[in-house]
């Protein structure tokens, strides 16, 4: 559905997007993350045909943004981080305006608007003026506008910014529903934990360049060198003995006793070693209540990956 090849955008002496390539299939949800100024918004604007690339190619549904920009716009729903509103309009009037702009036939227009407002939860406030809406409701209206042309690809720039926790949960639900309808969703956010819960893929960029692309599990696995193991004992008095037991085993490093019978250590070995090590500890008489690998969060992944790229962001991009 979306294929980006060697995409580059230069503003003066700044390479906002630098030789970026990736592909998304129908129904994929891809989280797009990077530091401020990494080039995320510029990339999204190019995909949405609102910005001309300096070099490279973008294809949506197999068609080039260079050759068929108007046809592609009918396949894309773009939800920018800031969007224009018309305060004196009601929600229905606002969507009616955009439905007319997309030349949706009058007979289908009302059904389309009603269906979208029902999907986004705006049905009960259809006649409320835009200026009276809360931040969460304005974001729902923004999403409704982006859906008015029934797009195959949704490009969403920071849709959760400024939303309260309940509104963010509702937005995640809507995004997953869009994917279940077969729509491809390309979404940026600084709320990395939430992205990891809804995304099939993650694309991480820094200074306009792709740093990592793959499933959340693939990225976490690629970052991990061995395993971080968390152990909790029923009897906290055994912690000191368990420390002595662990430091004598090969491949174990950085044993760190904690509080209430908890300790952490690093295992530089294959995954098959973990159950064997647990059996050894139990056979030695340690009262193990918990013994599990710690998975790095998306925040851990983001900080470690971007921290390895030339000292992080240098302010390039947008």
Q: Which of 84, 4, 83, 82 lies closest to 43, judged by CA?
A: 4
Answer yes or no: is pLDDT of 285 > 70: yes
Domain 2-215 and domain 225-294, same fold? Reply is no
CATH of domain 225-294: 3.30.70.100
Confidence of residue 304 (pLDDT cuts 50, 70, 90): low
Query: Which tens digits make up the pLDDT trace of 145-177?
Result: 999 999 999 999 988 877 788 888 888 888 899
Confidence of residue 238 (pLDDT cuts 50, 70, 90): very high
- In this structure, what are the phi and psi dihedrals at residue 161, rounded to the nearest 5 degrees? -60, 125
Answer yes or no: is pLDDT of 306 > 80: no
Q: What does the alpha-carbon distance between residue 249 and residue 253 come to, in Å, rounded to a whole number?
A: 9
pLDDT above 70 coverage of the chain, percent = 89
* Chain mean pLDDT for the chain: 85
Confidence of residue 40 (pLDDT cuts 50, 70, 90): very high
pLDDT at 216 (0 to 100): 76
Radius of gyration of the chain (CA): 24
Answer yes or no: is pLDDT of 185 > 90: yes
Q: What is the distance between the terminal CA atoms of the chain, rounded to a whole angstrom?
A: 25
The larger pLDDT score, comparing residue 126 to residue 310, is at 126
User: What is the domain partition of the chain in residue ranges?
Assistant: 2-215, 225-294
pLDDT at 301 (0 to 100): 66
Answer yes or no: is pLDDT of 89 > 70: yes
- Three-state SS at 293: strand
Please report how the helices 91-101 and 135-147 are oriented relative to each other, as an axis angle in degrees rounded to 10.
20
Fold entry, domain 2-215:
Rossmann fold (3.40.50)
Q: Are the C-beta atoms of 208 and 248 separated by less than 8 Å?
A: no
Confidence of residue 311 (pLDDT cuts 50, 70, 90): very low
User: C-alpha angle with apex 307: 205 to 42, nearest 5 degrees?
Assistant: 25
Q: What does the alpha-carbon distance between residue 227 and residue 294 come to, in Å, rounded to a whole number?
A: 7
Q: How many CB atoms lie within 10 A of CB 185?
A: 25
């Amino acid at each position: 559905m979306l294929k980006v090849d060697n995409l580059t955008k230069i503003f003066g002496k700044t390479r906002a997007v630098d030789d970026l390539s990736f592909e998304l299939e129908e129904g994929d949800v891809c989280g797009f993350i990077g530091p401020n100024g990494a080039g995320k918004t510029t990339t999204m604007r190019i995909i949405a045909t609102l910005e001309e690339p300096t070099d490279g190619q973008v294809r949506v549904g197999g068609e080039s943004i260079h050759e068929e920009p108007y046809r592609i716009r009918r396949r894309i729903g773009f939800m920018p981080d800031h969007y224009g509103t018309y305060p004196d309009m009601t929600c229905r009037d606002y969507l009616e305006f955009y439905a007319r702009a997309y030349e949706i036939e009058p007979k289908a227009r009302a059904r389309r608007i009603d269906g979208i407002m029902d999907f986004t939860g705006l049905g009960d406030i259809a006649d409320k003026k835009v200026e009276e809406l809360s931040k969460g409701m304005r974001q729902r209206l923004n999403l409704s506008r982006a859906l008015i042309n029934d797009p195959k690809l949704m490009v969403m720039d920071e849709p959760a910014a400024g939303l309260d926790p309940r509104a963010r949960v509702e937005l995640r639900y809507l995004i997953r529903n869009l994917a279940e309808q077969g729509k491809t969703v390309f979404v940026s956010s600084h709320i990395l934990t939430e992205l990891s819960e809804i995304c099939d893929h993650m694309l991480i960029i820094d200074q306009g360049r792709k740093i990592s692309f793959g499933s959340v599990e693939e990225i976490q696995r690629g970052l991990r060198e061995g395993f971080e193991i968390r152990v909790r004992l029923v009897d906290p008095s055994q912690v000191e003995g368990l420390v002595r037991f662990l430091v004598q085993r090969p491949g174990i490093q950085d044993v760190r006793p904690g509080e209430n019978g908890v300790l952490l250590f690093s295992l530089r070995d294959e995954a098959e070693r973990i159950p064997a090590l647990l059996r050894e500890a139990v056979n030695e008489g340690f009262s193990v209540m918990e013994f599990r690998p710690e998975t790095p969060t998306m925040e851990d992944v983001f900080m470690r990956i971007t921290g390895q790229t030339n000292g992080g962001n240098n302010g390039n991009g947008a």
